[in-house]
Chain A
């Protein structure tokens, strides 16, 4: 890849916190600061992190809803077409369009479509799977909570100028990080 031929550039400054409450409050402070690009890393989901990061609600539920309705409709049309239009057979003396008999399949199609679309849209929205990214510190999958203030991408040279490494490090320390270090892109970013 392009990245590997270039010299590693500054990806950002990361601060470590030892408990989730500290991290939550620190994240709120970063959210309210002038730093626009940041991310939190935790070994397990921390309640309230979405609000602390100022994340907007995900559009995922609308995908689920639309896909569910589509599945329900297609489930009905499939059965209507097979048992009324394409190959009508009288079963149990019931009308061709016996909708109560169609309901279980419509229900299952609703679930199937909604479920698959949700998983698919989730991967699209969060950009996973991404084999290029590497964990930059194994501790964040064990017992450490981290907050990364991202440096603007090197390509935006003018903005990169403005990013002050030591200032960001100072800021992280001031909001309670017990350890701060700069991280360089190694293809994970």
Chain B
């Protein structure tokens, strides 16, 4: 067929032994710091655990969300990089494990799990039907199971297409994509309500799910961009991904920088304007003492800096710029997670120390190992995709 003769299959990608060892060392560091800080300062340990659990869970499900968007729209431009998004789902099974570990942190993290606090508090009593340990565990486990189900199904179809080159597999994924998107939007909103918003069980914000979604896709796009650049620097995408594809990825990152700011501001402004006592606590905590600096960093660093850097056309076509902005965006998203979790426990300011960095490295190590294991096992490009050939010669203005 046309594909076989014109496009060379780049095959799988084996990461160097050094990087693998570094990642394993990261996991060890993470386990040791977490175990150590569980004794020294359990609240801090669990706070950094839940934020990293959510951060990397977002990347894993974000990869599937990215791939789903390509299937549902029948996108041509993304054909050679869609597999990079699919590879992030390799971390999804680990989310089961981290959620199981999080179970033991529930008493430290969530006020609603203590009956003595709930009793006599009208708001918490009213919410106790939903915010109860059993229901919390069941609905989150079901959500993760659903995500794994869709990942196995759709990424499985995509991988099967590598060998069979059967276009009907693309059509199957196009059928499953809208189903997944509906399930995803409901379950991801629920997961962010449960795991992050209920850290302050009195507070509520109906846009909160969209806010975490904005951060999720923001960081997922940065991750996909960085992985694409890594594969490209190893010559795995020669003749497959050119600066036009990078340009499109850059535009995507730019767009979701704006989207995050839009949603973040919408959440803030409505609460600030209405000034209702039951809602304002969340932002008052984040505008006092050391937290005002973090909030300012989010406005400037998470929005304005990538916004202006990614604005010129040449920046989006430049690998070096994209790499640096991508890394910066991932750090900004990490600070945003910190900003969502820590003010509920530490009113005077952020805690960024060995605990936070160690636990983050641990998660990063596991995430890296899982994603690289996927890339070492399967082709780094969806070589059987019917739109690949058209996309490879992708030219546009």
Q: Specify which of A47, A48, A65 is in contact with B311 (CB 8 Å cutoff).
A: A65
Quick one: which of B273, B396, B397 has the most chain A CB within 10 A?
B397
Chain B contacts of A101 at CB under 8 A?
269, 273
B203 lies within 8 A of chain A by Cβ: no
Question: In the complex the two chains form, is B273's CB within 8 Å of A92's CB?
Answer: yes
Question: In the complex the two chains form, is A61's CB within 8 Å of B397's CB?
Answer: no
Question: In the complex the two chains form, is B269's CB within 8 Å of A103's CB?
Answer: yes
Known contacts A50-B397, A100-B268, A103-B269: A61-B275 contact under CB 8 Å? no
1/0 per residue, CB under 8 A from B, across A46-90: the answer is 011011000001000100010000000000000000000000000
The B contact surface, by secondary structure, is helix
Chain B contacts of A104 at CB under 8 A?
269
Who on chain B is nearest to A51 by CB? B395
B119 lies within 8 A of chain A by Cβ: no
CB distance from B395 to the nearest CB of A (A): 5
Question: How far, in whole Å, are A93 and B313 apart by their CA atoms in the complex?
Answer: 44
1/0 per residue, CB under 8 A from A, across B369-397: the answer is 00000000000000000000000000111
Which B residues from 338 to 397 make CB contacts under 8 A with A?
395-397
Known contacts A65-B311, A92-B275: A48-B395 contact under CB 8 Å? yes
Known contacts A92-B275, A103-B265: A61-B313 contact under CB 8 Å? yes
Question: In the complex the two chains form, is B395's CB within 8 Å of A47's CB?
Answer: yes
Who on chain B is nearest to A24 by CB? B395
Chain A contacts of B272 at CB under 8 A?
100
Question: How far, in whole Å, are A51 and B397 apart by their CA atoms in the complex?
Answer: 9
Which A residues from 13 to 70 make CB contacts under 8 A with B?
47-48, 50-51, 57, 61, 65
Question: In the complex the two chains form, is B268's CB within 8 Å of A47's CB?
Answer: no
Which A residues from 120 to 176 make CB contacts under 8 A with B?
none
CB distance from B7 to the nearest CB of A (A): 19
Which B residues from 299 to 335 make CB contacts under 8 A with A?
311, 313
1/0 per residue, CB under 8 A from A, across B257-294: the answer is 00000000100110011010000000000000000000
Question: How far, in whole Å, are A93 and B272 apart by their CA atoms in the complex?
Answer: 12
Who on chain B is nearest to A93 by CB? B275
Chain B contacts of A61 at CB under 8 A?
313
CB distance from A84 to the nearest CB of B (A): 17
Chain B contacts of A57 at CB under 8 A?
313
Chain B contacts of A50 at CB under 8 A?
397
Chain B contacts of A93 at CB under 8 A?
275
Question: How far, in whole Å, are A104 and B265 apart by their CA atoms in the complex?
Answer: 10
Who on chain A is nearest to B397 by CB? A50
CB distance from A168 to the nearest CB of B (A): 28
Chain B contacts of A92 at CB under 8 A?
273, 275
Given contacts A47-B395, A47-B397, 19 further A-B contacts (CB under 8 A): A47-B396, A48-B395, A48-B396, A50-B397, A57-B313, A61-B313, A65-B311, A92-B273, A92-B275, A100-B265, A100-B268, A100-B269, A100-B272, A100-B273, A101-B269, A101-B273, A103-B265, A103-B269, A104-B269
Residues on B close to A: CB < 8 A? 265, 268-269, 272-273, 275, 311, 313, 395-397
